[in-house]
Amino acid sequence: MTGARFAAWIVCSAVLAFAACGRSAPKPPDAAPPEPYLAITHVTVVDVAAGLLVSGQNVVVRGGRIVAAGDTARVAVPPGATVVDGRGRYLIPGLWDMHVHALFDAEVARTFLPRFVAEGVTGVRDMGGTVEVMRAARFALLAGTLVGPRIVAAGRILDGPQPVDPSVSIAVGTPDQARAAVDSLAQKGVDFIKVYTLLPRAAYFAALHEAARLHLPVAGHVPGDVTTLEAVDSGQRSIEHLRDEVEPLCKAAADAACGRLLDSLRAHRTWLVPTLVVLRAKAILDDSSLIQDPRLATMPELVRDAWEGIRGGKQGKPLAYWREKRTRFYGELALTGAAWKDSVSLLAGTDAGALYTYPGSSLHDELAQLVRAHAPGTQIAAE
């Protein structure tokens, strides 16, 4: 499969992967008066299912839905339609970012959600925020007072008694507390349950069991008390970032433990979300290009301050430290390519909101990194 087809497949997979993720936000009722037509003419359509570019197409949209698409000779432009000349341009399906943090703060949500759409991202999977911001954002989207993508959200994260980030977590120490947390989140309308690093072993399995009873998928990190193989075999639907969960077992793709894990991931159709763009940012925090990026000025102050605090704390590290960080990132690129070649399912996610990852535009960067990881025979060299 070519790099272009690989990127197309990743985009398509993000749309399909969490179709069974649970409840999505209700759709507003159809408007009484008929909506006008929009016709995009003479455009090249990117067929993500077939991995093809189809030129000379007319696509007609009404009421937010495609009502006709095909060759310009076969699909007519409706009278009175707004026409966009697509000559020399490409039309793609809406993109999905399958790992974002946009709902932990109201100002961040108001800033991030429109920018996803501006960059062609029409769906996001929010991996940890607050239920209150989630509800407010969904209401604003339905009311038409905010532009944003479709949101599939976890609400708060299930973490251990002393959570990594208490502001977006539920502290869980026992199986009973895990079941209660899952029940509470389900009642509040979340789409899936996110588990995190410090969740105790017994509480983790209780959360999985309760979520399965309520038909809610479970995604996230693998807790330190649980093996990645156990998590996959027990039904966790996706594993985020590769680090700590997959990478230690796959220092070399030929390792027996790595082979067993990749086999299990493939057999259970468990999704890996490498989030390469944020892993790269962590590896180059000493590089001034991060703070020279013009996108940085568009971020809310609290986001900029958080990023600078982390970056500032890493300055002064020796060259050997950064060399090791970059080497690790190149290994993660190689691992991503090895997982793909072993038919493990991958999703495109950025961790938008974390370290120098931007709403919408960073997904384009992630797709480029995924193609880079996949490209056969490509030498993964230093930045």
- The predicted-structure confidence for 123-145, as pLDDT tens digits, reads as follows 999 999 999 999 999 999 999 99
160, 202 contact by CB (below 8 A)? no
Query: Is 84 part of any domain?
Result: yes
Query: Is 114 part of any domain?
Result: no
148, 137 contact by CB (below 8 A)? yes
Over residues 322-328, mean pLDDT = 94
pLDDT at 320: 96
pLDDT at 34: 77
Query: Is 53 part of any domain?
Result: yes
Going through 264-308 in order, the beta strands assigned E by DSSP cover 271-273
Residue 23 has pLDDT above 60, yes or no: no
Beta bridge partners of 126: 100, 153
Q: How confident is the model at residue 242 (pLDDT cuts 50, 70, 90)?
A: confident
Type of residue numbered 37: Y
Type of residue numbered 87: R
Reported as a single tens digit per residue, the pLDDT across 183-207 is 999 999 999 999 999 999 999 999 9
Beta bridge partners of 65: 62
Tally of domains in the chain:
1
157, 187 contact by CB (below 8 A)? no
Task: Find the distance separating the first CA and the last CA of the chain, reported in whole Å.
Answer: 25
Query: Is 238 part of any domain?
Result: no
209, 193 contact by CB (below 8 A)? no
Query: Is 301 part of any domain?
Result: no
Angle at 218 between CA 342 and CA 372, to 5 degrees: 35
Q: What residues contact 77, with CB distance under 8 A and at least 6 apart?
A: 37, 39, 41, 58, 60, 83
pTM above 0.95, yes or no: no
pLDDT: is 238 or 23 the higher one?
A: 238
- Output DSSP code: residue 146: S
**Segments forming the whole domain that contains residue 59:** 1-27+37-93
Query: Is 375 part of any domain?
Result: no
Can you tell me the distance from the alpha carbon of 209 to that of 116, in angstroms, rounded to the nearest whole number? Answer: 34
207, 213 contact by CB (below 8 A)? no
Which CATH number characterizes residue 80's domain? Answer: 2.30.40.10
Type of residue numbered 98: M
Query: Cα 209 to chain center, whole Å?
Result: 25
Query: Is 56 part of any domain?
Result: yes
Query: Is 269 part of any domain?
Result: no
